[in-house]
Amino acid sequence: MRIKQYIKPFLFASLLAAPLTACEDYLEVTPPGEFASNNVLTNEAGLTSLLYSAYTNYNIQNIYKDVINMEEVTTDMAFNSGGGENRTLSLFINFTWDPSVAWLEVDMWNQAYFAIRDANLLIDNVDNSDADEAMKAQLKAEARYIRATEYAFLYGWFGSVPLVVSSTDAEPKGRASEEEIKDFIAMELSEIVADLPAPGQEAQYGRASKGHALGILTKFYLNTKQWQKVVEVSQQLMDLGYYELYPDFTKLFRVENEQNREMIVAWPQIADLQLGNMFPNGAVPPGFQYSEKLPELVWTTGMSNWATQYRLRDEFVDSFDPTDARFGLIIEDYINLQGKKVNLRNTPDNSRSLKFFDNNALGNFHGNDTPIVRYADILLSRAEALNEINGPTQEALDLINQVRNRAGLADLTMTEASSKEALRDLILQERGWEFVSEAKRREDLIRHGKFVSKAQARGVNAQGFHVRFPIPEKEMNSNPALEGQQNQGY
């Protein structure tokens, strides 16, 4: 019953990961009729299938745990040990990654451009289809949303990248200018809002709404420090009158509470389709049965418990107020399968985040949806922008205090927020507590100018160029237009 509420991935999606000629070969033989190769791009059903392929590539379910870890072990928040994954994650812990790292290619670069390719193909053909005008506008808006969002992700990881906006452009492209890529992302997300459905009115859960576009745009403006635009777009999103904080933070991420009104952009995870959230497999410690702190979350023999261990740094864990509800999803000890209590703090940097955990997980796959933009993020983003424009104001504090009050903490006052710099630091700290295990810490530290200095304080040989990842080696080798355009330092 549950899976009917989601966009279902099509085999069409995996075939489109090959060159587009392979797509035509497949469609010539199976099935006939509406999905035949001569009309798949001219009828509504075929274009909708292509849109789902774009969503499947955009929603990187099974590999998003890699992205979370790459984004967080590079910071003061997370750590990793053990298993085959540590061979890669140790490169990010020690700031020794380089263009040959496969995860940068497969999980970030390729996946984004697969989705962009599908979106471009739809955009180029939808006007010639038999869909009615309203459906054409919506399909095109959703494809533009996927494309612009992927470029926003790519920009956050690599800086400016090749801007491919047509399926018919066969010429290899070099990197767009900073101005071109930033203007394109902002223009696309702004223009499509009118043609997207209101939040809660999407045809299937997981498809784009006005809130999706405004949420991604707010975060893009935040990370590019366009403060006034953050204020304007976040107000547009709030004026939709739909989103709100979920009242109980400890229950916010549970499968039974999915589709709540705090999740503006969330990637559906479906354990019984083997498209689930895989982060918990590395977050649970060896021999984990349950934690007395979270007794309702119980490991079963049907679940995976990996050799690699997704851990949290002690300094970050110790920064929490013990009464903070968000600390309630971080465990420092547990009961193992032999019924014995194990103190994780006996090993440095070894506490665990159980933000995502599904008692009905199947093997590697938990059903917890992956949050990309939450309403709490919008509130804190708006507060940060207001502070950068005007310094501490009561409006900014009220926004922060909504998030703090939900966590059971007292209000911040002008006494603590004594200056723009003081409130800036308080917001950064608040964001760390709120978004652990959600792949936001790296971008937050970069924006606040602390990514490199905090790594250096840990004894890591971090340099200024590390705020961007390198363009993958295979892409540099295969695209002659990128010659001489690698990010500085690599």
pLDDT at 39: 63
**CB neighbours of 392 closer than 8 A, spacing ≥ 6?**
414, 417, 418, 419, 420, 422, 423
What pLDDT does 41 receive? 85
* Among 243, 258, 238, 484, CA closest to 367: 258
Main-chain dihedrals φ then ψ at residue 379, nearest 5 degrees: -60, -45
CA distance 323 to 434: 14
Angle at alpha carbon of residue 14, lines to 12 and 19, rounded to 5°: 95
Angle at 275 between CA 273 and CA 280, to 5 degrees: 120
Closest to 444 measured CA to CA, from 474, 458, 424: 424
Give me the average pLDDT of each 10-residue run along the chain (490 residues). 37 34 27 46 91 92 90 98 98 98 96 96 95 96 98 98 94 96 98 98 96 98 98 98 98 97 95 89 98 96 96 98 98 98 98 97 95 98 99 98 98 98 98 98 98 98 98 97 98
Concatenated DSSP letters of 142-193: HHHHHHHHHHHHHHHHHSS------TT--S---PPPHHHHHHHHHHHHHHTG
